[in-house]
């Protein structure tokens, strides 16, 4: 259980499990990486609910939560610019899935992911981006086009990227208020995902008593409730990933995961201990 | 955080006397100094703003060495544990670079070939069915849009330095007409420093780290390159550079790279 029931004010916040239940199998789900506030709590709830066929989008790269979801069999496709566990090394379940051909992988490059989301943010069908020409990434992206810059005198090829609207944006914020606003400081890529996605579901560390948008100091780091469908309170919901200056990256936890997840059996045992037994997790 | 002894003496005190000679210059310190010399290269485009990406303690040390050595340079360290230089999310780095406001970036590669193509995707068929690497990150953009890139990979072996990469994350050179501000300035490995000539799409060996020679460097490289008749040794860091690395540079790096600082400088963050 989350803390929501104990601390919720007059308005209702669903549980993390209830949020996960809103995400249907096969949905395209955008996740920020380990340095940018992923909701590990929501990823674990998706595993407990037995989600299948998810199409994950790493914004712009992927980390711990993505490796967990792949290992648990929740993911059919992944579009990302890299998958890594940082200092703990390669993401083991991702690597195994690629080797075994179990994952439809669409490689991108970081600014291309941002640009596709920014096009969706603006409601335009595509946006151009420099670079990429001559990369095998482009050769494997039939959905990316090259045109001749119409504003130049000719002979200036440039890549066009289609707008991308994920079905869901999921991330973890520090604060949520009764107006549905959430605060996560300078990690504005989460705002870009929220603007571009059709639905945004958030976990927050704790509730904020006032209106985040009425506070001049907090407003610039706030994502307006306009974009947020619902949030659940999940204390330490980013763990083992860091949350701004609230808590640090739990390197020992991720390193232990990386060791365990080298094998399918090790991963299953880790999952049983840290994800499927939710009571144990809550007691940690 | 600071002990009673100055950094240099604290380091010496932590090392048994018989180990001091061997520990005099760590390989990481030599590489950082070599990278710093490339950053300061007066013949290269100016380095006013340098960005350093993920898991790059030695390039980060090189940048801090340049700055602590008195050269004014703005450093954007993308993986600082507390705070970060951008308030618009990670896309701000790419927007800055797109405008030409980032002068220098570092890239590595699971494979690097003789034409300075880099492969961060994996070996075997696309997308790395043999050995999958993490992925291309921003390389397919940064390599084009920064006036210069320093390629850095400690492992100098035939499996890394290949004749032709299996998959191209980012090409070393582009045909005429493709918008490109720059490419590789140099490649620094654990054995040597190479310069890159974009006009010929070819590396030239510039110096050998101590313990290496022309034959050992070539034997461990899978691509062909030019070689001078007489091969210089990569210079040692100067005493001043060593003092800077072990003192103020380490101070700046302790939070982001605690394991690196403990291993190389024998320094630990305050609990």
What tokens does A150 get?
A: 């119409």
pLDDT recorded at residue B38: 98
| pLDDT tier, B82 (very low <50, low <70, confident <90, very high otherwise) | low
Q: Is it true that the peptide bond before B138 is cis, omega within 30 degrees of 0?
A: no
**pLDDT reading at B20 higher than 70:** no
For residue B154, the number of C-alpha atoms closer than 13 Å in the C-beta half-sphere is: 11
Nearest Cα residue in chain A from B56:
A87
Contact B178 A83 (CB under 8 A): no
B259 in contact with A, Cβ within 8 Å: yes
pLDDT recorded at residue B267: 83
Provide DSSP, A81-126. S-BB-GGG-B-HHHHHHHHTT-SEEEE--HHHHHHHHHHHHHT-SE
pLDDT recorded at residue A9: 46
**pLDDT reading at B3 higher than 70:** no
**pLDDT reading at B21 higher than 60:** no
Decide if A103 contacts B136 (C-beta within 8 A). Answer: no
Give this complex's ipTM. 0.92
Q: What is the mean pLDDT of residues B23-46?
A: 93
Residue numbers of chain A with a pLDDT score lower than 50: 1-10, 280-284
Contact A186 B89 (CB under 8 A): yes
Q: Report pLDDT digits (tens) over B231-259.
A: 999 999 999 999 999 999 999 999 888 88
Chain B CB contacts of A136 below 8 Å: 121, 126, 167-169
Contact B178 A190 (CB under 8 A): no
pLDDT recorded at residue A4: 45
In chain A, CATH 3.40.1080.10 covers 3-112+165-283
CATH architecture group of domain A3-112+165-283: 3-Layer(aba) Sandwich (3.40)
A219 in contact with B, Cβ within 8 Å: no
Output the pTM of the full model.
0.91
Count of Cβ atoms closer than 10 Å to residue B63 Cβ: 28
Q: Which of B87, B137, B168 sits opposite A186 (nearest CB)?
A: B87
Q: Report pLDDT digits (tens) over A140-195.
A: 999 999 999 999 998 999 999 999 999 999 999 999 999 999 999 999 999 999 99
Coil vs helix vs strand at A3:
coil
- On average, the pLDDT of chain B sits at 90
How far off is chain B from A60, nearest CA to CA, in Å? Answer: 8
B168 in contact with A, Cβ within 8 Å: yes
pLDDT recorded at residue B81: 66
Coil vs helix vs strand at A19:
helix
CA distances from residue B85 to A222, B15, B51 in whole angstroms, order as listed: 18, 36, 10
Chain B CB contacts of A137 below 8 Å: 121, 136, 140, 169
| pLDDT tier, B191 (very low <50, low <70, confident <90, very high otherwise) | very high
Contact A136 B168 (CB under 8 A): yes
Contact A110 B141 (CB under 8 A): yes
| pLDDT tier, B270 (very low <50, low <70, confident <90, very high otherwise) | low
């Amino acid at each position: 259980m989350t803390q929501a029931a104990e601390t919720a004010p007059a308005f209702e916040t669903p549980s993390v499990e209830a949020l996960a239940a809103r995400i249907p199998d096969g949905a395209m789900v955008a996740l920020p990486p380990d340095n940018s506030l992923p909701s590990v709590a929501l990823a674990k709830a998706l595993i407990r609910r037995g989600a299948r066929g998810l199409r994950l989008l790493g914004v712009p790269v992927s980390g711990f939560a993505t490796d967990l979801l792949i290992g648990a069999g929740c993911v059919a496709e992944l579009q990302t610019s890299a998958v890594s566990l940082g200092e703990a090394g390669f993401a083991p379940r991702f690597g195994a899935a690629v080797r075994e051909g179990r994952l439809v992988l669409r490689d991108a490059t970081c600014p291309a992911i941002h640009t596709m989301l920014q096009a969706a943010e603006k409601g335009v069908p595509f946006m151009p981006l420099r670079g990429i020409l001559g990369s095998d990434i482009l050769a494997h992206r039939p959905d990316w086009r090259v045109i001749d810059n119409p504003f130049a005198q000719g002979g200036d090829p440039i890549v066009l990227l289609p707008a991308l609207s994920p079905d869901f944006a999921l991330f973890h914020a520090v604060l949520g208020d009764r107006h549905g606003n959430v605060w996560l400081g300078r990690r504005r890529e989460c705002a870009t995902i929220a603007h571009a996605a059709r639905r945004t579901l958030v976990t927050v560390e704790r509730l904020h008593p006032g209106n985040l948008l009425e506070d001049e100091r907090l407003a610039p780091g706030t994502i307006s409730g306009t974009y947020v469908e619902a949030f659940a309170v999940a204390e330490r919901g980013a763990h083992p990933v860091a949350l701004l200056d609230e808590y640090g990256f739990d390197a020992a936890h991720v390193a232990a995961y990386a060791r365990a997840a080298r094998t399918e059996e090790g991963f299953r045992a880790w999952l049983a201990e840290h994800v499927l037994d939710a009571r144990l997790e809550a007691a940690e | 955080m600071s002990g009673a002894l100055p950094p240099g003496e604290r380091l010496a005190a932590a090392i048994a006397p018989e180990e001091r000679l061997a520990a005099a210059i760590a390989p990481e310190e030599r590489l950082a100094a070599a990278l710093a010399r490339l950053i300061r290269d007066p013949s290269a485009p100016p380095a006013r703003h340098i960005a350093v990406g993920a898991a790059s303690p030695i390039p980060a040390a090189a940048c801090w060495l340049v700055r602590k050595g008195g050269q004014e340079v703005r450093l954007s360290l993308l993986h600082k544990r507390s705070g970060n230089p951008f308030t618009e999310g990670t896309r701000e780095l790419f927007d800055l670079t797109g405008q030409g406001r980032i002068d220098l970036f570092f890239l590595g590669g699971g494979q690097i070939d003789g034409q300075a193509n880099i492969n961060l995707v994996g070996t075997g068929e696309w997308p790395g069915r043999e050995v999958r690497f993490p992925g291309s990150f921003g390389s397919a953009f940064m390599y084009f849009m920064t006036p210069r890139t320093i390629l850095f990979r400690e492992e100098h072996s035939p499996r890394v330095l290949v004749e032709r990469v299996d998959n191209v994350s980012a090409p070393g050179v582009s045909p005429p007409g493709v918008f490109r501000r720059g490419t590789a300035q140099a490649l620094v490995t654990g054995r040597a420093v190479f310069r890159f000539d974009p006009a010929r799409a070819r590396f030239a060996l510039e110096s050998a780290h101590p313990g290496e020679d022309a034959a050992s460097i070539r034997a461990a490289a899978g691509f062909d390159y030019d070689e001078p008749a007489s091969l210089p040794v990569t210079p040692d860091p100067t005493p001043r550079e060593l003092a800077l690395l072990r003192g103020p540079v380490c101070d700046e790096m302790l939070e982001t790279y605690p394991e690196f600082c403990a291993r190389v400088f024998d320094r630990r963050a305050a609990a």
